[in-house]
Amino acid sequence: MSDPVRRIKAPVRLEYSVTAGKDLSRFLVAIADGRLIGKRCPSCRKVYVPPRGVCPTCGVALGEDVPVSDTGTLTSFCIVNVPYEGQVMKLPYVYGSVLLDGADLPLSHLIQGIEAADVRMGLRVRAEWLPPEERRPTLESIRCFLPTGEEDAPFDTYKEHL
């Protein structure tokens, strides 16, 4: 018998066009306009940013739009030191969870304008927007978050939102 076949190549490529959904679409349209909006759960009153169609805790549709600030508090972060395929940022860089003022859930984004070693929980940060003509319906319309220079937020102010 000839050599057994030990491996085959079977490439697969499928293309999808994903629907953002009603709630997330409102958020994306607003972000192209330089605004951040969330939605409030009518049951537990939490404000979700980005809004997500349903409050996962209560299982009900989210209610009214809530404008939120583009300034917030870093609740948690990760310093990325490991190179990976498709990496575009120069190492090391910081990826953080930002609790925007007025929101109940943090948003993930890049933290820049500060040495990685100096990044800390409670750091106050503000969105660094692309110029208006470059903004599109994507979180990339915010280039990163930069320190505001304000005093750090006390732990008690965000301990429920980690």
Partner 1 sequence: MREVAVISFAQLPIVRREDERDDIEMVLPVVTEALRASGLEKRQVGFTVSGSSDFLTGRPFSFVMALDAVGAWPPIEESHVEMDGAWALYEAWVRLQHGDIDAALVYCFGKSSAGDLRDVLVMQLDPYCTAPLWPDSVSLAALQARALLDTGRATERDLAAIVSARRSAAKKNPYAQLKGDYGVDALLEAPRFVAPLRKHDCPPISDGAAAMVLATGDLARKVCSRPAFIRGIDHRIEPHALGSRDLTRSSSTSLAAEKAGALSGTFDCAEIHAPFSHQELILQEALKLTNGTEVNLSGGALCGNPMMVAGLTRIGEAALRIHRGEAKRALAHATSGPCLQQNLVCVLEAG
Which residues of this protein are in contact with partner 1, per CB under 8 A?
8, 10, 12, 14-25, 52-61
Between 60 and 89, whose beta carbon lies closer to partner 1? 60
C-alpha dist (Å) from residue 30 to 25, 49, 54, 77, 89: 8, 12, 19, 26, 26
Q: How far is the CB of 126 from partner 1 (least distance, A)?
A: 30
Q: How far apart are CA 123 and CA 97, in angstroms?
A: 11
Sheet containing 65-68: order of strands: 47-48, 36-40, 65-68
Between 54 and 116, whose beta carbon lies closer to partner 1? 54
Q: How far apart are CA 70 and CA 15, in angstroms?
A: 34
Q: How far is the CB of 38 from partner 1 (least distance, A)?
A: 16
Between 2 and 17, whose beta carbon lies closer to partner 1? 17
Between 34 and 63, whose beta carbon lies closer to partner 1? 63
Contact of 153 with 69, CB cutoff 8 Å = no
**Which residues fall within 8 angstroms of residue 52, CB to CB, at 6 or more apart?**
21, 23, 24, 62
Which of 120, 111, 73, 72 lies closest to 92 in space, CA to CA?
111
Between 22 and 120, whose beta carbon lies closer to partner 1? 22
Q: How far is the CB of 2 from partner 1 (least distance, A)?
A: 18
Q: How far is the CB of 42 from partner 1 (least distance, A)?
A: 13
Q: How far is the CB of 106 from partner 1 (least distance, A)?
A: 17
Q: How far apart are CA 60 and CA 46, in angstroms?
A: 12
